[in-house]
C-alpha cells in the first residue's frame, strides 16, 4: 500500500454531489465522442469467461484471475475478466462487423493482485473498444491517426467539463507527443522505464509511447505484454518494431504520469506465432481464440482500453481514484486520506 506525492492542503474542486454529476457527464460525453469518431457501436460484455479458452487477458503474464466453479456446468471454472482484448475480436467476427467499424463496451474487472495506491484499485472500469481494419491499415501511421482521434475526444470532454465547472481550467496540450520506447531508452539510458515515462510526460504532458512489449536495445522490454493480442514485433515505418503503445497524461495534482490507455493494432497470424515463440507460449495455439485466429475466422483489428475512473480523476483534478469509484481500501489508507482531506467514496 502506498500513496504518491500529494499536494499540501489538498482541496477538491468539486464536492461529492458535484463529483457524481461530473462523473456521469464525463462518461456520457466521452463515449459519445469516442463512438462517433471511431464509428463504434455499443455491445454488452461479459463479467467472466470460461477458463481454458484463451479469451481472458493475462496482462503481464503473472497475474491470476479471480475464478470460481460453476455448479450447473459440472464444475467448469469461470474467470473474472482482466480485460476484453481477445473477447472483443471474437465479437467483431460473430457480429460480422464491417471494415472501418467496430464495437465498444463498459468493461468491469477485478484485479486482486493490484498494489493499491492513488491510481490502482481492486476494481477496474474502462471503455474497451475494437475496430475492424484492412491489411493496409496495419501501419504505424494508422495507429497514430487513431490515437489522435482518441485524444481529440479527451480534449473535447475536458472543454465540456470546464464549461459546466469554471473552477476546472483546461490544461491539456492541443497535440499529443509520439515517441518509440527505444527512442525513449536512448534519450534516458540511465533511467528505469517508469522513470522514462515520468520524464517524457512531464515535458510534453500528453504522450503515446510506441512498442510496449518488444525487446529494446538493452535486451529488455519497456514493459511486458501478453503475446497474443497487441503486435509489438512487426517492423514499423519509423525504423523500430511495434504497432502498439500506451497513452500517458500528466497529473499536476499528483506530479506524475498517469497511464490512461493501452492499445494497439492486434496480431495477425505471423505476429501471433512469432510472439508466442519468443515468449515460450507455443502451447496456446491449441486454445479456442488462437485456433480461430490461425484458421482465418477472426478479422484484422485495432483496439484497446481507456480507464473510466482514471479519465474522471484526471479531468476533475482528483488526488485518489477512490474519489471516483467505490472499492475496498486498507483502513490505514482511508485514515491517511481522511487526514489529507481526500474524501474516499
Per-residue pLDDT of the chain (345 residues; tens, 9 = 90+): 677 777 778 999 999 999 999 999 999 999 999 999 999 999 999 999 888 887 776 655 556 788 899 999 999 999 888 878 889 999 999 999 999 999 999 999 888 888 899 999 999 999 999 999 999 999 999 999 999 999 999 999 999 999 999 999 999 999 999 999 999 999 999 999 999 999 999 999 999 999 999 999 999 999 999 999 999 999 999 999 999 999 999 999 999 999 999 999 999 999 999 999 999 999 999 999 999 999 999 999 999 999 999 999 999 999 999 999 999 999 999 999 998 899 998
152 is catalytic: no
Residue 126 is a catalytic residue: yes
Catalytic, out of 58, 246, 275, 310: 246
Burial 130-164 (b: 16+ CB within 10 A, else e): bbbbeeebbbbebbbebbeebbbbbbbbbebbeee
Q: Which of 35, 251, 261, 262 is catalytic?
A: 262
Q: How many Cα atoms within 13 Å fall on the side-chain side of residue 183? A: 14
- What local confidence, expressed as pLDDT, does residue 114 receive? 84
Does 72 participate in catalysis according to the annotation?
A: no
pTM of the predicted protein model: 0.94
Active site residue 228: no
Pair type for strands 40-42 and 102-110: parallel
Q: Of the residues 57, 137, 197, 230, which is catalytic?
A: 57
Which listed residue (35, 126, 275, 325) is catalytic? 126
9 is catalytic: no
User: How many angstroms from the chain centroid is the CA of residue 264?
Assistant: 10
Q: Set out the domains of the chain in order of their start, with CATH numbers.
A: 16-172+270-339 (3.30.930.10)
Which pLDDT score is estimated for 231?
Answer: 98
Residue 273's pLDDT is 98
- Candidates 114, 117, 259, 268; catalytic one: 259
Q: Is 246 a catalytic residue?
A: yes
CA–CA distance, 329 with 345 (Å, rounded to integer):
10
Amino acid at each position: 500500500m502506498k500513496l504518491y506525492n500529494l499536494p499540501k492542503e489538498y482541496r477538491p474542486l468539486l464536492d461529492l454531489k458535484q463529483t457524481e454529476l461530473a462523473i456521469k457527464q464525463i462518461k456520457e460525453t466521452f463515449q459519445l465522442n469516442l463512438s462517433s469518431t471511431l464509428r463504434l457501436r455499443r455491445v454488452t460484455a461479459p463479467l467472466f469467461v470460461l477458463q481454458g479458452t484463451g479469451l481472458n487477458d493475462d496482462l503481464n503474464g503473472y497475474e491470476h484471475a479471480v475464478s470460481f466453479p460453476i455448479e450447473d456446468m459440472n464444475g467448469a471454472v469461470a474467470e473474472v475478466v482482466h480485460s476484453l482484448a481477445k473477447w472483443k475480436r471474437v465479437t467483431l467476427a460473430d457480429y460480422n462487423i464491417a471494415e472501418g467499424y467496430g464495437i465498444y463496451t463498459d468493461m468491469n474487472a477485478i484485479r486482486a493482485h493490484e498494489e493499491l495506491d492513488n491510481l490502482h484499485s481492486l476494481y477496474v472500469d474502462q471503455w474497451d473498444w475494437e475496430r475492424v481494419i484492412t491489411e493496409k491499415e496495419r501501419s504505424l501511421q494508422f495507429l497514430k491517426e487513431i490515437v489522435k482521434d482518441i485524444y481529440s475526444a479527451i480534449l473535447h470532454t475536458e472543454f465540456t467539463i470546464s464549461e459546466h465547472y469554471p473552477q476546472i481550467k483546461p490544461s491539456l496540450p492541443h497535440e499529443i507527443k509520439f515517441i518509440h520506447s527505444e527512442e525513449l531508452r536512448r534519450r534516458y539510458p540511465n533511467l528505469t522505464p517508469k522513470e522514462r515515462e515520468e520524464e517524457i510526460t512531464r515535458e510534453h504532458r500528453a504522450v503515446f509511447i510506441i512498442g510496449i512489449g518488444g525487446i529494446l536495445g538493452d535486451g529488455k522490454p519497456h514493459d511486458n505484454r501478453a503475446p497474443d493480442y497487441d503486435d509489438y514485433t512487426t517492423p514499423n515505418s519509423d525504423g523500430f518494431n511495434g504497432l502498439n503503445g500506451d497513452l500517458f497524461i500528466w497529473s499536476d495534482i499528483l506530479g506524475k504520469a498517469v497511464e490512461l490507455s493501452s492499445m494497439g493494432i492486434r496480431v495477425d497470424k505471423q505476429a501471433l506465432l512469432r510472439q508466442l515463440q519468443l515468449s515460450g507460449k507455443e502451447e496456446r495455439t491449441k486454445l479456442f481464440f488462437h485456433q480461430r485466429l490461425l484458421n482465418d475466422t477472426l478479422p484484422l483489428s485495432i483496439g484497446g482500453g481507456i480507464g473510466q475512473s482514471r479519465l474522471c480523476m484526471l479531468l476533475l483534478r482528483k488526488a485518489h481514484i477512490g474519489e471516483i469509484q467505490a472499492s475496498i481500501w486498507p483502513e490505514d489508507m482511508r485514515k491517511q486520506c481522511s487526514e489529507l482531506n481526500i474524501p474516499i467514496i
